[in-house]
Structure 1
Amino acid sequence: MVFRQSALRANLILRAEVFQAVRRFFIAADFLEVETPWRIPAPAPEAHIEAVPACGWFIHTSPELCMKRLLAAGYPRIFQICRCARNRERGDRHLPEFTLLEWYAAGWTYREMMAHCEALLLDVSRSLGRGDRLVFRGHAVDLAPPWHRLPVREAFERLAPVSMDDALARGRFDEMIGCVIEPRLGLEKPVFLHDYPAQCGALARLAPGDPSTAERFELYICGMELCNAFTELTDPREQRRRFEDEAARRAAAGLLAYPSPERFLEALEHMPPASGNAMGLDRLVMLFADTARIDDVVAFIPEEL
């Protein structure tokens, strides 16, 4: 019998080394590693993410809601490496079950979180003996900070055939980001794509003085999105309104209705100002393994179970 896993030994060893380096980095920075339930009664009602039903509840699409409740309970710096699931996601960069690194820091904004991302990836690279340079699919990427910071509106002006406002009005925003802008980001230096339109940041704080902009960023290296981060919204009334808007979008699209996450909304009243980040660790391993297929960095894929 031929085992696919036999050919993956080097990548699976690399995967373990990446995970160990990530843990060392956060422990050294005084973050507490936490573990939250993977089955929850009510996920955040995001219009473009589908949770997997599980015995009347749902497998979490990220540990976000429970981790924010820990912030509210007085834990100022926390991180978690956990398995998550999202329905109908499969491709060279997607699995329906995947590994997520998520972390939060009280008192930070998305600006401090950008700097922390730079430090994390550089530390992991050096731990692996790769230094300050990453080579992925023929592209040599300089990891030395500071990395490039590119506002979304400017990215549309420089890289897309339509403006950001036109793309939003025509329902083509995600298409332009995914098909036109994303492949051209981070080919020589990592890029933080930041300051998203307000309607594209359901859990993010709006920029002070600019309610049209959400304090959100995504990190891109060699055209691949690695993480999604916010300055967190901590106003429970505003968060409830946004959840209701997202639920309405889901209903209009004929998607499954979720219960309201009431205990999260109650806890939000006590949550301190903070920033949070969710990073796909499978994709991070892909970068260091120099492979374009997520199948090459996981021990099992759905098709062989």
Structure 2
Amino acid sequence: MLESSVRLGQLFIMTVSASPWWTPSVHADRRPLLMARGRIKARIASYFAAEGFTEVECGLLQVSPGNEAHLHAFATERIHPDGGRRPYFLHTSPEFSAKKLLAAGETRIWTLVPVFRNREAGNRHAAEFAMLEWYRVGQSYETLMADCASLMAAAADAAGSRVFRHRGLECDPFAEPERIGVSEAFQRFAGIDLLATIEAGGATDRGGLAAMAQARGIRLADDDNWSDIFSRILSEKVEPNLGIGRPTILMDYPIVEAGLARPKMDDSRLSERFELYGCALELANGFGELTDPAEQRRRFLAEMDEKERVYGERYPLDEDFLAALAIMPEAAGIALGFDRLVMLATGASRITDVIWTPMAE
């Protein structure tokens, strides 16, 4: 019943795309998807309650929105009663606040909050969207992989769907996810020996990776660095093959691509980072969390140097977060794009189809 309604809804919305979402006929057609969204949200809450988690609420205004070079924030300003002004940002993730709660003594927490990212657009992106994050103290990032498998199945069941569909691709949400390392995926899908371009400790060979990428038809810019080339190969050659038939967990990212994750014990070139995919769509990004404040500061500054080089701007560091990191216990944490999960579970073609009040463009 739901899948039929969703297909009709997609057809209707495409034919009246100029009509705003609040038009009664458009809303009536979107409503089955939004009702499914509510059921998925309730099922997720039940899952975490059964696992002994505490639901927390993280503030949206932060002194730093995050310190990743290619994440862009919405800036605002706080005016104090005495007229003094201080810049603030709408967070791009609740991560800093959540980790402060781990430092405070919480051990299993989850939150579902709106987050804000500038410069993003398209059928898979929204400037304001819902982020599901959860953290487990004293547990490995592989425990989060098991959580992901359970939540995908729960979302499908709540939506009344037996299969995830997106852009002509299908994925069985009840199947055990495939686990594949990033280096193996680069070799399998791009014919590129990624680890040959990474030294012990994480130093990278830009020239070596560029030569392999160009030999496989990937166009590069003269100022592309190693990470830029990595991202191009990932998006063009690897990601289109992930989460097809069953979910994929792409794991053990190069340490240079994991600014908030700790290194793997058995290979300092790699990190305890993974991403979850369904129907070639990235759904979640998880870590074995880095808890070394000095190393975290070094990585943040390097990211902000890169941001300034590319975009001509940088964000402040959250000194409160770095201080909390010094007493934060070992933990694993993950962020999952809730709207994207709803998209796959309902078969919606656009992220705005599953958001109650999408921002007017």
Identity percentage over the alignment? 40
Contact 1:136 1:288 in 2 (8 A): no
Deviation at 1:116, TM superposition (A): 1.4
The match for 1:57 among 88, 95, 99 is 88
Deviation at 1:177, TM superposition (A): 1.2
More displaced stretch, 180-189 vs 94-103: 180-189
Deviations 1:77-135 (A, max 9, x none): 0000000001111101000110000010001121111111112222333344446x445
Where 1:37 maps in the other structure, the secondary structure is coil
After TM superposition, list the pairs within 5 Å mapping 1:1-305 onto structure 2: 2-3=23-24, 4-55=26-77, 56-130=87-161, 133-164=163-194, 165=197, 166=209, 169=226, 171-303=228-360
Contact 2:36 2:158 in 1 (8 A): no
Deviations 1:185-235 (A, max 9, x none): 111010000111111000001101322101100000010000000000011
> Which whole-Å CA distance do the structure 1 matches of 2:133 and 2:285 have between them?
10
Deviation at 1:162, TM superposition (A): 3.8
Relative distance call for 1:145 and 1:76 in structure 2 (3 A) is farther
Where 2:360 maps in the other structure, the secondary structure is helix
Deviation at 1:257, TM superposition (A): 1.7
Deviation at 1:258, TM superposition (A): 1.4
> Which whole-Å CA distance do the structure 2 matches of 1:295 and 1:14 have between them?
14
Where 1:217 maps in the other structure, the secondary structure is strand
Contact 1:137 1:290 in 2 (8 A): no
Tell me the C-alpha RMSD between the 2 structures: 1.8
Q: TM-score, normalised by structure 1?
A: 0.94
Deviation at 1:138, TM superposition (A): 4.9
Which aligned runs of 4 or more in structure 1 are off by greater than 6 angstroms?
none
Where 2:145 maps in the other structure, the secondary structure is helix
> Which whole-Å CA distance do the structure 1 matches of 2:139 and 2:121 have between them?
34
Contact 1:137 1:291 in 2 (8 A): no
Number of positions where the alignment pairs a residue of Structure 1 with one of Structure 2? 303
Contact 1:5 1:299 in 2 (8 A): no
Contact 2:159 2:346 in 1 (8 A): no
Task: Structure 1: give runs of 5+ residues left out of the alignment.
Answer: none
Where 2:111 maps in the other structure, the secondary structure is strand
> Which whole-Å CA distance do the structure 1 matches of 2:347 and 2:157 have between them?
16
> Which whole-Å CA distance do the structure 2 matches of 1:148 and 1:23 have between them?
26
Where 1:150 maps in the other structure, the secondary structure is strand
Deviation at 1:145, TM superposition (A): 4.9
Deviation at 1:14, TM superposition (A): 0.8
Q: TM-score, normalised by structure 2?
A: 0.80
Deviation at 1:288, TM superposition (A): 1.1
Task: Structure 2: give runs of 5+ residues left out of the alignment.
Answer: 1-18, 78-86, 198-208, 211-224
More displaced stretch, 20-29 vs 140-149: 140-149
